[in-house]
Structure 1
Amino acid sequence: MQQTYQTLNALTNFYGAMTAAESARRGYIFLGSSQDLQRYYNAKADMRSQLQILQKQIHPDESQEKRLVSLNLLVNQRLSLLEQSIELYQKDKTALLIQNNITVSSVQIREKILKVIADIKAEEQTYLQDSLEQSKQSIYFRVFIEIFTTFLILIIILGLCMILENQWIKRERIRDLESSLAQEKKIGDLKIQLFSMISHEFRTPLSIILLSAQLLKESLENLVDRQQLKNIFRIQSSAKIMNHILTDILILTRAEAGQLDFKLQVINLENFCLNLVEDLQLFATTANMLRFQKIGSIFKANIDERLLYSILSNLLLNAIKYSNNETEIYLILKSEADMITFQVIDQGIGIPLAEQHKIYEPFYRCQNVENIAGTGLGLAVVKKCIELHQGEIIVESKVGTGTTFTIMIPQENT
């Protein structure tokens, strides 16, 4: 079973490396960037490495070995075309027609490679299903135990938090101003330690839940229809939401204590936004609910990537949560030399004008959310992260029409 997982993982990594190689090759052809050329060579080496792993890990079956031989042949042909493209670009940057012909041939070979990969993966998954069938009941029981344990730990920790909070309140009442300030700092440190521990302790069972749910999905997806897999998708979605809540709590706690890490680095915002939208599609009610648009030509910026993920993911998750199934949600990236602007636009329930000045307070939720679940932490986290970037957030909303959040982050010319 472990060998089959390694084979499937190698196939996934190989596909990723193949995609990265093609992307880097195109980037080099279009932009002439030496970084893209180096990225191409790295991806090419990774493809070779994954093929070697496949050679060792693939199931010893005659049909699989034939497919692997065919895969190696097709890969060599495609890499040869990519090398021709790069060499041609280095000799004649204006040979666009030949480059286009090479790209067409490369795409045709890519389709053949994808078919071979799909055949290999299907065969390996068949072997995996045979193995998983014998331990299905054990996996069901394990998922139940992990979920039960997770909620039990949550109840215990919440109880401890209430006890600690009561003790801290009593101590603050009997201390003078100087000792009160010192105690507040101590409480802040304890909260960070506590929520760090909560985050660490919860992420292990959450990871097991996600892995177990993924195994169940892979073992059942060819046996039952998608509608019957709905509960597994719910497990995955709920576990990811719980992990997101833990991250929000930890960020907010550290920000309030002035101990939130802030590390600026140059990132590609377009790629970042595309990956973010792909990550959040699981929470959307339809596959095409999230839309990404870009305006401008400079998409590299000096930003804390981790905090930017918290900003945009919280806004997009709120947009998904408070919108109906038939509307689209837009993430818009606007690039200027001295300012990066993001917009998250939805057509959801909207925010009452009288409450818009309160939405950045921790745990605050508007009156019109009704029975929609939530913690009230998301926008507080967004506000803290934007303040660290010395940026600004603006909300425009009308009840029943929708909401637009605009985030502006200044950039220094580097």
Structure 2
Amino acid sequence: MKWSMERKWITGGFGLALVMMSVVNGISYQNAIQLKESAKRVKETNAVIKNINNISATLTDAESERRGYILFGDPDELERYDKAIADLKRQINQLQRSLADTQSQKQRLDKLQLLITQRQELFEQSINQYQNSQTQILTQTPLLNEIKQNWHQISQLLTDLQTEEERLLQTQVEQSQSNLQLRMLIELLGTLLTFVVLFGVYAILYRQMVKRQQAEVLQRTLAQEKELSELKLQFFSMVSHEFRTPLSLIVGSAQLLEETLKPIVKPTKLKNLYRIQSSAKAMTKLLGDVLTLARADAGKLECNPTLLEIQTFCLNLVEDFQVYSDTKQTIKFVRQGSCTHAWLDEKILYSILSNLLSNAIKYSSPENTIYFNLICEPDTILFQVKDEGIGIAREDINKLYDPFIRGKNVREVLGTGLGLAVVKKCVDLHKGEIFVESEVGVGTTFTVRIPQFKDNTKND
């Protein structure tokens, strides 16, 4: 099944919207993960800083307990000192696990461990010296200087560890904020683009819905018109059938009466009898035209071309008008070209040419000549009916083929305005064209052009 362009746009739009929504959701998920990681990193950094502060406090406590033991000789102080040293080792191990991923911090921590180990040795040395000689420790200024220098180095390392950890945290937070802002911008743009795409898809769907509604309305209208046309056809068929029988009886009776009275009555006294025949024939033709239009509107008028001997058909048509009607004008038939046969529907062609000849006769003076031309061209047959009658006004030509429309200059000439409407319908059935050239007071020329491709002359 071949997809229409609008269907492709709708499918592509929905696909693009789904891709954009997936991208936006992915970015939102990454933002959430990064926020979670940033919070975790802040928590870990705070724990590291807290651990560094605890190490500093524990060292201070150990120093205090050591001094208390040396100054007062209290065994409890020595016990608390040992406990502080044990806590210090645990805190160092915990800090080591926290800083295992940062090489620079790990190097500082290794150096800190050496200094703390050195400090513990100095503490032990001072305690041992105090236990050996309580007065000697007070005068050993070199040992005290080493302890002070060691504490200074430890304090500097602890400060460096804390500063570096804060710097790393600040760098990571800034980078996270920058990435978060970029992702939020992409997320916003993606959301807007998704909205635009979905709005475009909605617009296409809405237009399709409107078109579908219009098509449904048009389909209902066409169905109603078809139903109305069929009702009209049934009505006109019934009327035509009901009227044709009495009209045929009227014409037949009038003709019998004419034949009976002709030998014994003067022709001038048969004038009313001729009027009866003429009026009945006109009524019969009117019913035929109305029925033809009704069938054409209902799509029931079919065109079935057959191979027709065209010149004989035209001569017979001229003879019908000159012999079997009251035509006073001369009809001059001329053939141009060498064609002998053509693919045409005989009944429909008769309706076309008889209406054109009838109008030419009706709107011409009795002394005028009607020119009826058959023109043969490659793949085309042209019929031309030319008169020297009253002509057609230019403003009436555009509505010439509308039913019940007559020219403004027809005066007292009787007519229904159906003839040319029937001609146009029949020409369209042959997929042909009709042209008119006219000048008021000079005459009118109708040209019917019918293509000669057998398949093109049949109804679809």
Q: Taking CA–CA contacts closer than 8 Å with sequence separation of 6 or more, which of the two structures ends up with the larger relative contact order?
A: 2
Is the aligned partner of 1:268 residue 2:309? Answer: yes
CA RMSD for the aligned pairs?
2.0
Once the two structures are TM-superposed, the CA of residue 332 in structure 1 deviates from its matched residue by 1.2
Decide whether aligned partners of structure 1 residues 237 and 302 sit closer, same or farther in structure 2, where only a CA change above 3 A counts.
same
Decide whether aligned partners of structure 1 residues 391 and 370 sit closer, same or farther in structure 2, where only a CA change above 3 A counts.
same
Decide whether aligned partners of structure 1 residues 185 and 285 sit closer, same or farther in structure 2, where only a CA change above 3 A counts.
closer
Cα deviation code 1:232-275 (max 9, x no counterpart): 22222222221111111111111122221211111112221122
Cα deviation code 1:275-323 (max 9, x no counterpart): 222222344442x522222222222111011111110111111111111
Is the aligned partner of 1:332 residue 2:368? Answer: no
Alignment-derived partner of residue 447 in structure 2? 406
State the AA in 2 paired with 1:366: G
Q: What is the distance in 2 between the residues matched to 1:221 and 1:307?
A: 36
Task: Report runs of 4+ in structure 1 exceeding 6 Å deviation.
Answer: none
Which residue of the other structure, out of 287, 296, 312, is the alignment partner of 1:255?
296
Decide whether aligned partners of structure 1 residues 181 and 213 sit closer, same or farther in structure 2, where only a CA change above 3 A counts.
same
State the AA in 2 paired with 1:247: G
Q: What is the distance in 2 between the residues matched to 1:249 and 1:393?
A: 20
Alignment-derived partner of residue 364 in structure 1? 405
Which residue of the other structure, out of 351, 371, 374, is the alignment partner of 2:392?
351
Alignment-derived partner of residue 303 in structure 1? 344
Which residue of the other structure, out of 270, 295, 300, is the alignment partner of 1:229?
270
State the AA in 2 paired with 1:383: K
Q: What is the distance in 2 between the residues matched to 1:195 and 1:413?
A: 31
Aligned partners of 1:392 and 1:407 also within 8 Å = yes
Once the two structures are TM-superposed, the CA of residue 356 in structure 1 deviates from its matched residue by 0.8
Alignment-derived partner of residue 187 in structure 1? 228
Alignment-derived partner of residue 198 in structure 1? 239
Cα deviation code 1:85-126 (max 9, x no counterpart): xxxxxxxxxxxxxxxxxxxxxxxxxxxxxxxxxxxxxxxxxx
SS of 2:446's partner is: strand
Once the two structures are TM-superposed, the CA of residue 179 in structure 1 deviates from its matched residue by 4.4
Decide whether aligned partners of structure 1 residues 395 and 196 sit closer, same or farther in structure 2, where only a CA change above 3 A counts.
same
TM norm structure 2: 0.49
Cα deviation code 1:31-53 (max 9, x no counterpart): xxxxxxxxxxxxxxxxxxxxxxx
Is the aligned partner of 1:208 residue 2:246? Answer: no
Alignment-derived partner of residue 321 in structure 1? 362
Q: What is the distance in 1 between the residues matched to 2:405 and 2:424?
A: 13
Which residue of the other structure, out of 247, 253, 259, is the alignment partner of 1:218?
259
TM norm structure 1: 0.55
Alignment-derived partner of residue 381 in structure 1? 422
Matched pairs, number: 239
Q: What is the distance in 1 between the residues matched to 2:371 and 2:265?
A: 33
Aligned partners of 1:338 and 1:413 also within 8 Å = no
Unaligned runs of 5+ in 2: 1-215, 456-460
Q: What is the distance in 1 between the residues matched to 2:386 and 2:221?
A: 44
SS of 2:282's partner is: helix
Q: What is the distance in 1 between the residues matched to 2:290 and 2:357?
A: 18
Alignment-derived partner of residue 69 in structure 2? none
Q: What is the distance in 1 between the residues matched to 2:266 and 2:340?
A: 41
Once the two structures are TM-superposed, the CA of residue 178 in structure 1 deviates from its matched residue by 5.7
Q: What is the distance in 2 between the residues matched to 1:377 and 1:324?
A: 22
Aligned partners of 1:209 and 1:239 also within 8 Å = yes
Over the matched positions of the two proteins, sequence identity in percent amounts to 56
